[in-house]
Structure 1
Amino acid sequence: MTPDHIHRRRWAILAVLLLSVLVTVLDNSILNVAMQTLAQPSPTGLGASQSELEWAVNSYTLVFAGLLLTGGVLGDRLGRKKALLFGMALFGVASALCAYAGSPAELITYRGLMGIGSAFTPPATLAIIAQVFEPEEQPRAIGIWTGVVGLAVAAGPIAGGALLEHFWWGSIFLVNVPIVIVALIAMVVLVPESRDERAGRLDPVGVLLSIAGMTLLVFGVIKGGQLGDFGRPEVWGTGLGGLAVLAGFVLWERRTDHPAFDVGYFRDRRFTGAVAAIGVCSFALMGVAFFMVFYTQSVRGYSALETGLLMLPLAAAQMYFAPRARHVVARYGPRAVCAAGLLVNAAAFAGFLLLGRSTPIWVLAALFALMGAGLAHVFPPATVMIMNSLPREQAGAGSAINNVFRQVGGAIGIAVLGSLLSAAYRRGVEGQFDALPAETRHSAGESIQATLSAAARLGDEGRAMVGPANDAFIHAMHLAAITAAAASVFGAVIVLVTMAGRPTPQRETEAAGAGSPQPREAEAQR
């Protein structure tokens, strides 16, 4: 039971936790609209190359994904409030350093530092929610949490566009600092400390294996996306190396008597189905969000701020439906709701086939709203299932698993769908660059933005390249969108198969003082 004095202020605690989630997610999506500015020479930008811009994003993703499980485990063992305060403080300091970075290399380094701080934040917030809310209220609280995450993803481009119109590029990072300061003060005052009182000593081998495995896997995915070729030895070799290390992590965790995370929980089909749903949903969502920015800005000519405003229907739908999804789950069950949400997403992604060079923009807004409604019926029930499948003592590790699958799924989606988009686009513009010098033709075909930049340098002679480039991009976008739709349908099938049956939630079993033993104990008794 939650102590009365904590129970009474649970909604204030949730508000503080949401503030920390909002600022960390918001900043990551803000950066997406600043790419063009950062590519310009100083003092307007940093004169960053395409590769440097990619690593400004990827250094954060790589470190964040690699340390998520570690952040959750350390929070469970050492204290979730301590982990949250450390993560937010480091995030704030790194944000200030990013704002005044003097070179692309410094920005990449400080973004990695931000990733370290962020890795301690989402696991701690969900774990604290699991501590201060009773099971019957958790679906509502987690629905609000996922709704705010969706709001932050959509609000990031709006905030970034507004800041870039009035201030220098560093403002997109500096804006974090006062928010972090307010959040830290509120956390010290309101958020209670909690930890796994039954945890044994730390598992440094397991922690190091998880860091190494996740880092290698995500690096391979990112590198494959950059090169547009997953057949290169440095890509598949690194990815397979990461999978091998993660296999070693699983073997170690099964043998040690003080595991960082009990992998036996993956035998719970509800737990496994939930993390699979989150991974597949993130794969499709992040991959589509990546190329939609180029459609709105490069093909349709909208500004960064206008592009952000187009995301509002997605945020509004998530904010409305996510807290209410628990009612649908209560009536139809989580399996049916998650599968239906994924199918709604598939329909939204397939709807991108309607988009062309002059399609009314309300069509895109409607598709975003449909997407938001689908996401709101996948992430909240899946997250609740993950958190309720574990004992409260391991809430941080469970939250970390949730975020690992969300982050890795998104990274793979960007890499795979981005590579598919790039390859299809390059095929579509072959033979269109005869007017360019031979040494610049390859780079001009890397992306539609590169083509438009090359065309602009040619002046009137380059205008003939614009139409074919737009057509090639739209065709490539359609191919990537239908792939995302197929992935969502596949995810719905996985959910229907893996979520069959409703095993008794771990916490309900503990509360009843009876029932099946813990996964590791059950294994030992067989």
Structure 2
Amino acid sequence: MTRLRSADLRSIWLIAIACAAVSMVVAAMAALNTALPDIAIDTGADSGQMTWIVDGYTLALAALLLPAGAVGDRYGRRGVLIVGLFVFAIASVLPVWISDPTQLIATRVLAGVGAALIMPTTLSLITSGVPESRRALGVSIWAAVAGGGAIAGFLVTGILLEFFTWHSIFITFAASAVLTAALCFTIGSSRDSSPGRFDVAGSLTSILGITGIVLGLLEAPHRGWADPLVLIGLIGGIVLVVAFVFLELRRASPLLDVRLFTNRAFGSGSLAIAMQFFASFGVFYLMLQQLQLVFGYSPLQSAFALMPMVAGVGIFALLGNWLAVRFDALRFVLAGGILLAGVGIVLLGIVHYETYWTAIWIIVLCAIGIGLATASSTTAIMSNTPLDNQGVGSAVNDTAREIGAAIGIAVAGSIMAAGYSNRIGAVADNARTQLTAAGEQRIAAGDQLGGQMLVQQAGQAADHIRRSLAEATAVVERLADRAGPLAAQIAHDAQDAFLEPMRQAYIVLGAVLVASAFVLAWLAPRRVVTVSPDAPTAGDDIPAADGAAQENVGVGARAADASAPPRTDTAPD
């Protein structure tokens, strides 16, 4: 009994540290969005540089996840986690002394490198270091933390900006990373018991391929899908990913055994993870603008408004994973959760609501759907990955998240940009005409200086109104004192131009999820762990498991002895 309690405490401590580390990585993806206006003022960053202050981190993280996961498997997951935390801490503290936007972008890329070392090792430490009886719970908690980390980032950033400058965000991340790195010395480590030759060619191909795809997706909303850089990134990235697959099929020690995707649980789990983050980050992109620019919420109020999403995902992640594992209901949990989330997002576009509180039930519905599918997706991926390759399995899980999020933002952003642009032209032209006329009237009335200022600002105001609702709102605030009725008209018309494409974007995001739910209903097996395709029986016909051997049956299990425990080191790597 004492030994059992000791093992449980070690597992709880390991899960807590892993979740603390992954929460920083996910929070850092979202945290700076709230602080961008202040950063732009202090550093002189233009709109393109502001975008890359956020996207530089995401790009480096997504591109390096697979090689970073393999490095953790090869050299020890705890050691790689500690290195990643220190890199993350250094990259986070450097902006305190930086005033140049290009240098700030470089520090964000460096932070993304550290995050890539952190994220896959956190999950693989749980799946390789927590006893089988507690593993599903550990994965559920990790998935809930990773799913809610972005909103936690908004919340923490909003609180810090209420009292301090934007530098406090970086200081908080740096201090948290150093503390977590110190705590990591109290947990054990694990690694591949017989690593083969490191796959340099596969690593380079995967890095370049994912970089191209993510770069194209990140730039598409701003440049347009026909822009040469976007096309080169997307087409070149896809070609490199195809080359990566052929390369990995021919290697004795591949970076990623792509045959794992022929395992229905692994493949459906990867698809479900991508769809969840496609939906959640697309919705975050739209809803944060809606809350702040339409409902008039502050950044901090917006973060609190999204807390029901965190609660729903956290609670139903535990429930969904329990249902999938306990009742062999993976197919129903994945497909049902994605379908529920899709219906909820479609309702956000169909139902007309004037306040946040009249839409909260729809937000909760979306959260329940995403929560049901999130942990069970990760469990399906990790349970069908060889024990020695848990870092790579975790990296697949995380890469699916990053690419799904990038696609969601790209789709939502492109629909919004095109729809707003098509509708706002007449509003901008009318604003220019009325500002020019108002300025000329002031000049005629003897207010030469005030009139000339209005005439000069007419063209600039029209350009700002055309760019986005955020810039149109800034124009309205500047005009409120001098041209109140015109400012009110611009605010009303600009919001109308924003709301219709926003609803269309919600409907498209939701429709994609509904369609993917039907795919998952066909693709996903009943059980979390399935037999290999060349086994005599199908995955859905496996008799009830009675031990660890059944837990590790699968395509990936052919690559390693599934019944052997992972190699664990209690000393530092």
TM-score, normalised to structure 1, is 0.92
Work out the CA distance in 2 between the residues paired with 1:517 and 1:233: 40
Partner of 1:201 in structure 2?
A: 197
Change beyond 3 A, Cα 1:367–1:32: farther
Change beyond 3 A, Cα 1:198–1:51: same
Partner of 1:475 in structure 2?
A: 500
Change beyond 3 A, Cα 1:274–1:76: same
Q: Deviations over 1:67-122 (max 9, x none)?
A: 01111111111111111011111111111113332122122111111100001112
1:487 and 2:508 matched: no
Greater mean deviation of Cα atoms: 385-394 or 329-338: 329-338
1:183 and 2:180 matched: yes
Work out the CA distance in 2 between the residues paired with 1:516 and 1:376: 25
Helix, strand or coil at the partner of 1:260: coil
Q: Deviations over 1:211-259 (max 9, x none)?
A: 11111111111121221x2122321222110111111111111111111
1:421 and 2:416 matched: yes
Partner of 2:334 in structure 1?
A: 338
Work out the CA distance in 1 between the residues paired with 2:389 and 2:307: 35
User: Is contact 1:141-1:323 (8 Å) kept?
Assistant: no
1:212 and 2:208 matched: yes
Partner of 2:159 in structure 1?
A: 162
Note the 1:225-244 alignment, pairs <5 A.
225-227=221-223, 229-244=224-239
CA RMSD after TM alignment: 2.4
Note the 1:102-501 alignment, pairs <5 A.
102-189=99-186, 191-227=187-223, 229-329=224-324, 330-331=326-327, 333-353=329-349, 359-434=354-429, 435-436=431-432, 437-438=458-459, 441-458=462-479, 459-460=482-483, 461-500=486-525
1:20 and 2:21 matched: yes
Greater mean deviation of Cα atoms: 327-336 or 304-313: 327-336
Change beyond 3 A, Cα 1:70–1:517: closer
Work out the CA distance in 2 between the residues paired with 1:279 and 1:516: 22
Change beyond 3 A, Cα 1:237–1:177: closer
Q: Which amino acid aligns with 1:449?
A: A
Greater mean deviation of Cα atoms: 276-285 or 92-101: 92-101
Greater mean deviation of Cα atoms: 267-276 or 132-141: 132-141
Partner of 2:96 in structure 1?
A: 99
Work out the CA distance in 1 between the residues paired with 2:384 and 2:409: 29
Partner of 1:9 in structure 2?
A: 10
Change beyond 3 A, Cα 1:143–1:390: same
Greater mean deviation of Cα atoms: 216-225 or 442-451: 442-451
Helix, strand or coil at the partner of 1:363: coil
Work out the CA distance in 1 between the residues paired with 2:85 and 2:72: 13
Q: Deviations over 1:24-71 (max 9, x none)?
A: 2222222121123223x23xxx33222111111110111110001111
Q: Which amino acid aligns with 1:446?
A: R
Note the 1:25-40 alignment, pairs <5 A.
25-39=26-40
TM-score, normalised to structure 2, is 0.85
Work out the CA distance in 1 between the residues paired with 2:160 and 2:378: 33
- 1:135: Cα distance to partner? 3.0
User: Is contact 2:87-2:111 (8 Å) kept?
Assistant: yes
User: Is contact 1:65-1:404 (8 Å) kept?
Assistant: yes
Larger radius of gyration: 2
Work out the CA distance in 1 between the residues paired with 2:159 and 2:127: 36
Change beyond 3 A, Cα 1:501–1:375: closer
Work out the CA distance in 2 between the residues paired with 1:68 and 1:325: 26
User: Is contact 1:206-1:253 (8 Å) kept?
Assistant: yes
Q: Which amino acid aligns with 1:30?
A: A
Work out the CA distance in 1 between the residues paired with 2:314 and 2:359: 19
User: Which runs of 5 or more residues in structure 1 are unaligned?
Assistant: none
Change beyond 3 A, Cα 1:269–1:513: closer
- 1:312: Cα distance to partner? 1.0
User: Is contact 1:224-1:230 (8 Å) kept?
Assistant: yes
Q: Which amino acid aligns with 1:223?
A: E
Work out the CA distance in 1 between the residues paired with 2:242 and 2:376: 28
- 1:188: Cα distance to partner? 0.7
Change beyond 3 A, Cα 1:307–1:90: same
User: Is contact 2:259-2:555 (8 Å) kept?
Assistant: no
Work out the CA distance in 1 between the residues paired with 2:162 and 2:197: 52
Percent sequence identity is 30
Work out the CA distance in 2 between the residues paired with 1:501 and 1:513: 14
Change beyond 3 A, Cα 1:513–1:433: closer
Helix, strand or coil at the partner of 1:194: strand
User: Is contact 1:7-1:132 (8 Å) kept?
Assistant: no
- 1:355: Cα distance to partner? 6.3
Partner of 2:44 in structure 1?
A: 47
Work out the CA distance in 2 between the residues paired with 1:490 and 1:517: 27
User: Is contact 1:284-1:488 (8 Å) kept?
Assistant: yes
Q: Which amino acid aligns with 1:160?
A: T
